[in-house]
């Protein structure tokens, strides 16, 4: 299955979603994993504990998710590509350090295998209850990049994309999986190395002094132990890392961090659509719920109903212009998700009063296609 360097040989395998994420991370160059086991992400940690030594990497099981984030940040500043996985309660514990990683422009990847909440909830069943937390869970006013796979293949592919985005833009990136996809087993095609684009961060040389907040986008990153003189500051700082806690400097910091995210938005935005050319209504979803949504749309099309399908692959940054364009023809939008309407509120806010938005939801289990189809037929009459 593996070559001498420990990487998976190109081919087709039968993998669960958690395993696909682990292998995607390794293919992207991840060589440090720190985490704390929590259902339903534990199998991912278990696989990384075996695979990291095989590829010359390091696995560390920490005492909790707070310590895990600290370990990730330290390893990232030595030049390693780093990742952790968690769920629900663990994602809550990571939020302070996520804010630290944003402010210090530290590249890292976090996998949130979502389960039912709030609190401990139902530990082995899916919910998309962390979709807002992924962008707004930390303090301050700087967003994040978050992608949402719907298949085992995408669990592999989008994990690589998460690492590329984290390295290119020096920022934390979230992969929003869920308990169902984590355990689901499907065919996974692993590509040849030359078929995969791998992006590595730009490293600062010893003569450089500006390590943060570049006007042109992303500053080169210095490394611990490489002779650079810098401070990794949690407090408000300038482009040289010097702590400057005043309103004027913090405005510059917020502007430049947000500008970096705006620059990334065009590359990050990924929206899949089908049957939208003549659609009078659209079914919009993301993650595993999109599987049932597509099945329902295909059945409705067979019955002559002009309905389209839209899937958000990128969740954050939320590209309002792209959403308006893809939904421009539809008068009604049915949002299908595993929560009580978190993304429906974003869609409703973006589209305004010009269109009617409707919600089909459940938690702890995927919404069946026949339930979605019933809503489509109700609105088509």
Position 226 in a domain = no
Position 131 in a domain = yes
Position 216 in a domain = no
If one counts every other C-beta atom within 10 angstroms of the C-beta of residue 54, the result is 12
**pLDDT (tens digit, 9 = 90+) per residue, 282-292?**
999 999 999 99
Position 318 in a domain = yes
User: Are residues 298 and 167 part of one domain?
Assistant: no
Asked, as a colleague might, if the bond just before 331 is cis with ω within 30 of 0, I would say no
User: Are residues 136 and 27 part of one domain?
Assistant: yes
**pLDDT (tens digit, 9 = 90+) per residue, 96-111?**
999 999 999 999 999 9
Task: Please compute the mean of the pLDDT values over residues 150-176 and round it to a whole number.
Answer: 98
Tokens of 182: 């984590």
User: Are residues 277 and 184 part of one domain?
Assistant: no
Position 257 in a domain = no
Sheet of 271-274: strand order equals 271-274, 307-312, 281-286, 332-337, 356-361
- At 26, the pLDDT band (50, 70, 90 cuts) reads very high
Position 207 in a domain = no
User: Are residues 176 and 84 part of one domain?
Assistant: yes
Domain end marker among 161, 191, 221? 191
pTM of the full structure: 0.96
Position 185 in a domain = yes
Tokens of 105: 């422009």
**pLDDT (tens digit, 9 = 90+) per residue, 55-95?**
999 999 999 999 999 999 999 999 999 999 999 999 999 99
**CA 300 – CA 4 distance, rounded (Å):** 50
**pLDDT (tens digit, 9 = 90+) per residue, 264-283?**
999 999 999 999 999 999 99
Domain end marker among 134, 156, 191? 191
Angle between helices 152-169 and 17-28 (to 10 degrees): 30
User: Are residues 186 and 98 part of one domain?
Assistant: yes
Q: Which residue segment(s) compose the domain that 44 sits in? A: 11-191
CATH number at residue 367: 3.40.50.920
Cβ contact 138:171 at 8 Å: no
State how many domains the chain has. Answer: 2
- Write the DSSP string, 38-104: -TTSHHHHHHHHHHHHHTT-EEEE-SSHHHHHHHHHHHHTTT-EEEEEE-HHHHHHHHHHHHHHHHT
Task: Compute, in degrees rounded to 10, the torsion defined by CA atoms 24, 26, 29, 32.
Answer: 120
User: Are residues 148 and 33 part of one domain?
Assistant: yes
Task: Please compute the mean of the pLDDT values over residues 198-204 and round it to a whole number.
Answer: 96
Task: Please compute the mean of the pLDDT values over residues 25-39 and round it to a whole number.
Answer: 97
Place of tokens 């310590």: 67
User: Are residues 148 and 25 part of one domain?
Assistant: yes
User: Are residues 152 and 20 part of one domain?
Assistant: yes
**CA 318 – CA 142 distance, rounded (Å):** 13
Give, as one character, the DSSP assignment of residue 115.
-
Task: Please compute the mean of the pLDDT values over residues 327-338 and round it to a whole number.
Answer: 97
CATH number at residue 54: 3.40.50.970
Cβ contact 351:327 at 8 Å: yes
User: Are residues 167 and 35 part of one domain?
Assistant: yes
What confidence score (pLDDT) does residue 350 get?
A: 97
User: Are residues 76 and 169 part of one domain?
Assistant: yes
Is residue 1's pLDDT more than 70? no
User: Are residues 275 and 182 part of one domain?
Assistant: no
**Nearest alpha carbon to residue 285 among 268, 276, 272:** 272
User: Are residues 281 and 157 part of one domain?
Assistant: no
Range of lowest pLDDT (14-18, 86-90, 197-201, 352-356): 352-356
Position 217 in a domain = no
Domain end marker among 144, 173, 191? 191
């Amino acid at each position: 299955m593996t070559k001498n360097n420990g990487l998976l040989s190109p081919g087709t395998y039968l993998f669960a979603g958690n395993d696909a994420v682990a292998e995607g991370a390794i293919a992207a160059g991840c060589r440090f994993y720190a985490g704390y086991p929590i259902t339903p992400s534990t199998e991912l940690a278990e696989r990384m504990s075996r695979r990291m030594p095989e590829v010359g990497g390091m696995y560390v099981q920490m005492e909790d998710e707070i310590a895990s984030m600290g370990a990730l940040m330290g390893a990232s500043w030595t030049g390693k590509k780093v990742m952790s996985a968690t769920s629900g309660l663990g994602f809550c514990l990571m939020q302070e350090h996520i804010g630290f990683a944003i402010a210090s422009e530290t590249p890292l990847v976090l996998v949130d295998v979502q389960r039912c909440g709030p609190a401990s909830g139902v530990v082995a069943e899916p919910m998309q209850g962390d979709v807002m937390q992924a962008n707004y869970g930390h303090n301050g006013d700087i967003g994040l990049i978050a992608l949402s796979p719907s298949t085992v293949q995408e669990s592999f592919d989008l994990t690589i994309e998460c690492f590329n985005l984290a390295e290119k833009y020096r920022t934390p990136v979230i992969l929003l999986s869920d308990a169902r996809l984590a355990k689901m087993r499907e065919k996974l095609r692993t590509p040849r190395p030359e078929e995969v684009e791998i992006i590595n961060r730009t490293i600062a040389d010893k003569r450089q002094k500006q390590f943060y907040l570049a006007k042109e986008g992303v500053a080169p990153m210095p490394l611990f132990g490489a002779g650079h003189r810098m401070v990794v500051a949690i407090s408000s700082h300038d482009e040289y890392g010097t702590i400057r806690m005043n309103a004027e400097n913090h405005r510059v910091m917020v502007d430049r961090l947000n500008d970096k995210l705006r620059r990334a938005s065009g590359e990050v935005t990924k929206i899949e659509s089908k049957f939208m050319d003549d659609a009078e209504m659209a079914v919009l979803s993301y993650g595993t719920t999109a599987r049932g949504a597509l099945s329902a749309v295909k059945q409705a099309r067979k019955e002559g109903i002009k309905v389209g399908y839209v899937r958000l692959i990128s969740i954050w940054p939320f590209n309002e212009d792209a959403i308006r364009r893809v939904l421009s023809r539809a008068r009604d939008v049915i949002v299908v998700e595993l929560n009580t309407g978190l993304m429906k509120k974003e869609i409703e806010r973006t589209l305004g009063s010009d269109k009617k938005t409707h919600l089909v939801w459940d938690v702890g289990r995927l919404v069946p296609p026949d339930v979605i189809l019933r809503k489509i037929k109700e609105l088509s009459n």
